[in-house]
Each structure stands twice: as structure tokens, then as C-alpha cells.
Amino acid sequence: MADIQTLQKLSTQVRRDIVRMVHAVSSGHPGGSLGCTDFLVALYNGVMNHHPKNFTMDGIGEDLFFLSNGHISPVYYSVLARCGYFPVEELKTFRRLNTRLQGHPTTHDHLPGVRIASGSLGQGMSVAIGAALAKKLNKDNSIIYSLHGDGELQEGQIWEAAIYAAANKVDHYIATIDYNGRQIDGDVENVLSLGNLKAKFEAFGWQVVETEKGNDMTSVIEGLAKAKTFIGKGKPIVNIMKTEMGAGVDFMMGTHKWHGSAPNDEQLAKALGQLEETLGDY
Amino acid sequence: MKKYTYTEKKDTRSGFGAGLQQLGQTNPNVVALCADLIGSLKMDAFKAENPDRFFQVGIAEANMIGIAAGLTIGGKIPFTGTFANFSTGRVYDQIRQSVAYSGKNVKICASHAGLTLGEDGATHQILEDIGLMKMLPHMCVINPCDYNQTKAATIAIADYEGPVYLRFGRPTVPNFTPADQKFEIGKAVMLNEGTDVTIIATGHLVWKAIEAGEKLAEQGISAEIINIHTIKPFDNEAILKSIAKTKCVVTAEEHQMNGGLGDSVAQLLSRHTPTPQEFVAVDDSFGESGTPDELMTKYKLDTIDIIHAAHKVIKRK
């Protein structure tokens, strides 16, 4: 695992990539992307065992990650590129005609690192469970990870999957919830409250781990390390991770307004002023 | 008219069950999932012989499709089983995104398709499933006609790389295709060569097309009969070749007229050689409770309806 400072530098660069990508095409989802940056940077740079230079769809012997909330594709693409799945300069093709970096991730164009299309919400947990079952049949002890938005938990399929994973003891699987409390129409609490999320997952038979500071690298790594201690203990694991939508760019925080809006030129300049170029822009 | 005989009537779903059982013995990558309908889908034998490769997902079809998509990542070949209604309309978005768009090697196996589900009524009698599935890019759609053909199709799709929709049913129908007939995906089966009219049928309507052909022969009409078990990819060549000879066509299917086999034929012909066509299909209607035979009569999907359509279309030449 890289040291905390190195990971933080990478996070800052990924955040620059995110705002530049969505600005360039005046579309995309910066808010959730910025909020999940620290998590994905940690996951792909030390937590997961994976082989960016030798991508295979089956990923035998590798840990696998599934992005269920596909709209945060900017952070996903930046993290994948910056750990070597594809050239960093390809980020400039995001959402443009003929790109492999579609608005929402897809396997359709064979982008290394992506194993399922996502965008229509609520499907990724089922897919992750299926991949976990395949691992078990293949006697492969690797871990399956997935990420879901909190608003996404309003989809019924999530709870079908949650029942299944607990009943069948899918215990080499860690689902993380991006618990930022915001969705397109406003606060999750006001749109459709999730109630006591921890109690819900516990009642469904899951092992719950809470990451209180999902935008603090140390806290993110500790949360994932704690989640891993429950691997193989008979329960699926959920990591409820509190994040701030828009984290790292002050005017994008504290509101749901940047869920799916891109900054203009002035706003981009302001955002980049808060994010030091650490590893070179694409 | 070539003579077709059969020794027994059997349900196509049992053909699926037998094919799946054989795959369980021959292909270690085949896995099966079911949403609380093991008995109805005849998946008992596969489950008993391969408990580690069988997944009971409960009444949660969306989750089943997602799990199946995930199982392909790691080289498995998942066969999902539930009623046709719950295999398609209920999970359309899951199939569209996680299976079809993602290019996953999932076999969606659907029983109790169409009116012949019978007494359960319209909630379960899906008549739109072929249309829903064939509209998805690169989805293979197969609707075999009897037990032997369904068994052969089940075995064949395991070797086909990509998503497949396999449609079969509940009632017993004449089992007339040879048990050793090779199933070729996308290849129409010529049942009878004729010169006056082409009858293209799929699924349970294939036997009725044979019966209609026999009656038409008695009336001096020579019908060419084609069993089109694969709706997509479509055997354009076989159809165009037949139409060049007969100059008119009747399509017969247990499905809505909109979106079904007839649509595929009409689309092909309108682009290549506009041809008079009559449709034996459900005309923009839901089904209802009744016995399978009563329903096929009421909704005009019977042998007599194919005969009437043949007469009508010949006059339009």
C-alpha cells in the first residue's frame, strides 16, 4: 500500500481530472465523483489485488470491483487510467463521439477495467453477488467489491440482492455505500428517507462497518481494513461510508446542485485553484 | 404433402429440462438459476445432480438476471429459469443493461409462454416477449416447436457465445422432430416443399401448420412449410428463396402480431420483395383464462385459421 501522502496527491489529481472532464463536455456528474475519490483511489492503489496491465474479463485470481452507481464515471475513469488500465490522455475523450469512456461505464467498447455496464441504478449488487458465486465455484478466494449511491438504495433490486447475499452467506463480498445524503432532487432524507440504514442492513443479516470520514484517506483505508477482517465469517459486508458530495471543491459542497451539473469556465478555474496539480494533467 | 407422425405428445419445457440435465453432465461451466419455479421449469434433475451449480434465488427475478450476468465473469454459462412473463417484461431493464448491452453469455430460458399457459389468465400469458427480446441488439431469440427440438436447442445454446432468449411452453404438443436432428441456430427447417403458398410457423404453431398443410393438400393447394425456430438471427435466405417460388406467405405464432415473427418476415419482404402476407397471431389483445385449446380457438391461432389465411393470401397474389 502506498503511503497516505502519495494517495492524497493522487486523489487531488483525480479531482482535477474530474472537474476538467465534465467541464470539457459541459456534462457529467462531478458531485458524487468528487465524494468517492478517496475511496476509489484507496481501493485501486493498495486495497485490491488486481492487474491493470493485464486486464481480463474473468479476472481469475484478482479482486474485482463493480461500480453500481455508474453516473460517477468521471472518478472511475480517472482512477482506472491513473493506475494503468488505459492511457491517461484518453480521459479527454470522455463523453465524446466514438469514445470508450461513455457517459456511463460499459463493456461495449472494451474499455479495460470495466466488467459490466451500469447507469440504470440498482443492478450492481446482483452482478457483484454473481461474480462472487463464480469465484467460489472456481475456488478463487479473491474479494468482490461494489459501490452504490445512497439514493440508489431506493431501488427494490438492491434489497432482493441483500436478502440473497445474507441467506446464501456470500461472505467474500464488501459493498460500500456512498452515504452522502444527497440525490438529484435534493436531500435523500426529503426525497425518500432511508431511515436507519445500519439497522436495515443488520436486519437483512449483513455485517455493517461504518466509515465516518469517507473523504479522509486514513479513515477510508481503516474502514476497508476493518471490513476485510469480516471476510469469510458467514455474512456479506456493507461499508456505510459518509462522504461529502463535491468534496475538495468548496462551492460544490453542502448542496445537491452539483450532482449532475458541469462547471463553466470561471467555476472550473475556481475549482482548479483549490486542487493542486500533483501528477500532471492529462 | 410430406407425412409427419409422432408417437407421443410432450411438453417443450420438459425438453428444456432434459437438455439442461444433459448439459449438467457434459459441460462443467453450465450453471442454472431459478426464481421459485423449479418444478414448472423441469429443472429438478439438474439441481439434484449439480447442487453446487444450481442457485435458487427465490421470487426475485431482477436479482436473478443480475446474478446470472455476474456469474459469466469467471467463465460460467448461466441458464435462468422462470415463466416467460417474468423472464422478459418484468426484468427488461436488467436484461438490457446487465446482459445485452454488457454482452454477457446468459441464457434466459422462459417457460409458459403465450396463451397455452391456460387457466392462469392474462397476467401470466405474455404475448409480447419475442418482440421485447428481438429488439435488443445482438440478442438471439429461439422458439422451438416440440420436446426434441427444445432439448436440442437447450444443448446448442450452451456453445453459442452471447445472450440468448429461449422460449418454450407448458402444454403437451406432438413430438415429431427427430431426436437426433442437429439444432442449428439461425437456420430454418424446411418441413414441406410446396409451390402455392409459404407457411412460416414458430413454436406451438408449427404442428398446426403441418395439419393445415395436410388439409390444404386435400384441397389441391401445395403449401411450403417452414419451421423457423430462430427469430433472431433470422434465416433471410431460406425465406426469400421460398417466397420467390410461392409469391405469398402466412406467418403463424403464439404471440402478438406486433413485434413477433410476422413482423420480422414483413420487414424482410418489404425491403427485398414486397409480398402479400397474412398473419396468424394475436391481434392487439390480452389473453384470458381457459383451456389452452379453447384459447387457441378463441384467439384464432388454430389450424383452421392458418387454412383460412392461406386461402386469403393466395387470392391476393
- Give me the CATH number covering residue A184: 3.40.50.970
Query: Is pLDDT of A56 > 80?
Result: yes
Half-sphere CA count of B189, side-chain side, radius 13 A: 22
Query: Is pLDDT of B285 > 90?
Result: yes
* A63 belongs to a structural domain: yes
Domain total of chain A: 1
Query: Does B55 reach chain A within 8 Å, measured CB to CB?
Result: yes
pLDDT in tens, A126-182: 999 999 999 999 999 999 999 999 999 999 999 999 999 999 999 999 999 999 999
Residue A161 to residue B63, Cβ atoms within 8 A: yes
* A281 belongs to a structural domain: no
**Min Cα separation A71/chain B (Å):** 14
* A89 belongs to a structural domain: yes
Phi, psi of A241, rounded to the nearest 5 degrees: -115, 115
Out of A60, A123, A135, the one facing B98 most closely (by C-beta) is A123
Domain that holds residue A144: 4-273
CA A236 – CA A201 distance, rounded (Å): 10
Query: Is pLDDT of B136 > 80?
Result: yes
Query: Is pLDDT of B297 > 80?
Result: yes
Least Cα distance to B73 among B29, B35, B109, B33 occurs for B29
As a whole number, the mean pLDDT across chain A is 97
Confidence at residue A110, expressed as pLDDT on a 0 to 100 scale: 95
Query: Does B107 reach chain A within 8 Å, measured CB to CB?
Result: no
Out of A130, A135, A161, the one facing B69 most closely (by C-beta) is A130
Query: Does B72 reach chain A within 8 Å, measured CB to CB?
Result: yes
Size of interface A-B (CB pairs under 8 A): 119
Query: Is pLDDT of A116 > 80?
Result: yes
pLDDT in tens, B234-268: 999 999 999 999 999 999 999 999 999 999 999 99
* A52 belongs to a structural domain: yes
Confidence at residue B72, expressed as pLDDT on a 0 to 100 scale: 98
Taking CA–CA distances from B57, the nearest residue in chain A reads A164
* A279 belongs to a structural domain: no
Centroid of chain to Cα A41 = 9
pLDDT in tens, B155-194: 999 999 999 999 999 999 999 999 999 999 999 999 999 9
- Domains by residue range for chain B, with CATH: 9-174 (3.40.50.970), 189-315 (3.40.50.920)
Confidence at residue A2, expressed as pLDDT on a 0 to 100 scale: 83
Residue B57 to residue A60, Cβ atoms within 8 A: no
Query: Does A240 reach chain B within 8 Å, measured CB to CB?
Result: no
Residues of B in contact with A107 (CB under 8 A): 101-103
Residue B102 to residue A107, Cβ atoms within 8 A: yes
Contact B284, B256 (CB under 8 A): yes
* A278 belongs to a structural domain: no
The pLDDT-based confidence of A1 (bands split at 50, 70, 90) is confident
How many CB atoms within 10 Å of residue A25? Answer: 15
Confidence at residue B11, expressed as pLDDT on a 0 to 100 scale: 98
pLDDT in tens, A68-102: 999 999 999 999 999 999 999 999 999 999 999 99
**Min Cα separation B49/chain A (Å):** 16
Residue B71 to residue A133, Cβ atoms within 8 A: yes
Residue B55 to residue A128, Cβ atoms within 8 A: no
Cell of B246: 410461392
Q: Give the residue-averaged pLDDT of B83-109.
A: 98
Residue A59 to residue B72, Cβ atoms within 8 A: no
Confidence at residue A132, expressed as pLDDT on a 0 to 100 scale: 98
The model scores a pTM over 0.90: yes
**Min Cα separation A110/chain B (Å):** 10
* A28 belongs to a structural domain: yes
Contact A50, A63 (CB under 8 A): yes
Residue A131 to residue B73, Cβ atoms within 8 A: yes
The pLDDT-based confidence of B111 (bands split at 50, 70, 90) is very high
